[in-house]
Amino acid sequence: MGLVEGKVCLVTGGASNPGLGHAIAHKLASEGASVIVTDVDGEGAERTAAEINAQGGQAQAWAQDVTDEALWDETISRIRAEYGKLDALINNAGIAVLKTLPELTLADYNRQLLVNMTSVFLGTQKAVALMRETGVKGSIINMSSVAALVGVPACSAYAAAKGGVIGFTKTVASETAAEGIRCNTIHPGLIDTNMQRQSSVDNPEEYVKLNDAVPMGYMGPPHSIADAALFLVSDLSTYMTGAQMVIDGGLINQ
């Protein structure tokens, strides 16, 4: 039996490969979960679900813009109708627009807050409501970043959003702990994903500096984040809420 056998898990931002959501969806399915993969790129989400099903797992894929409240309502309603419960939500969808302060526009700033922070509020609020309705002692994982913990040039808006995720998550954890609903953050460092590869184009000088600063000497694989998500979804972490899991090869120690 897998670590999350019988659990129903929603993973947002699961289309990009290599990507954190893609890796998390695969990991949870391999350990017995029924996984719903969503992404604004519906075709990409379908590819992820098809890979999982071809490997013997259980997955569906739905198109979803995580900044749209109506689509969140639709997604949660569909989960209620088709599965009757939700055991875990992984708020993974996100974007990064890496510009220094003089270059950053208000539109850049607002877009990153909307996708990286507001979507987390919407998803968490809807998921908690369903968990309470069905009496599920669920797990919510909100993806933050090491950029919320240390200063990284050209990441001001991104860091503001990811920093907001920390405070929001801790507050929700306090509000839901007595019901057994857990809410934690994961803070990836430099992980080999499509988003990280794009940052090497957007901000090449800082990218090289950060890579050189990783004490372990290499960029982390997506499965390192997926393993952490598996732990937080599973019953191995039932006494853990409001916590920050930093997975960065020692980067923030520098």
Q: Tally helices (H) and strands (E) across the chain.
A: 9, 7
The CA-based angle 30-241-1, given to 5 degrees, is: 25
Sign of CA dihedral 46, 48, 52, 58: negative
CA distance 98 to 103: 9
DSSP code string of 35-75? EEEEESSHHHHHHHHHHHHHTT-EEEEEE--TT-HHHHHHH
CA distance 63 to 59: 14
CA distance 217 to 249: 8
235, amino acid identity = D
Those residues with Cβ within 8 angstroms of residue 92's Cβ, 6 or more apart along the chain or in another chain: 11, 12, 13, 14, 20, 21, 24, 141, 143
Catalytic residue chosen out of the listed positions 158, 207, 218, 239: 158
207 in catalytic set? no
DSSP label of 246: E
**Residue numbers annotated as active site:** 158
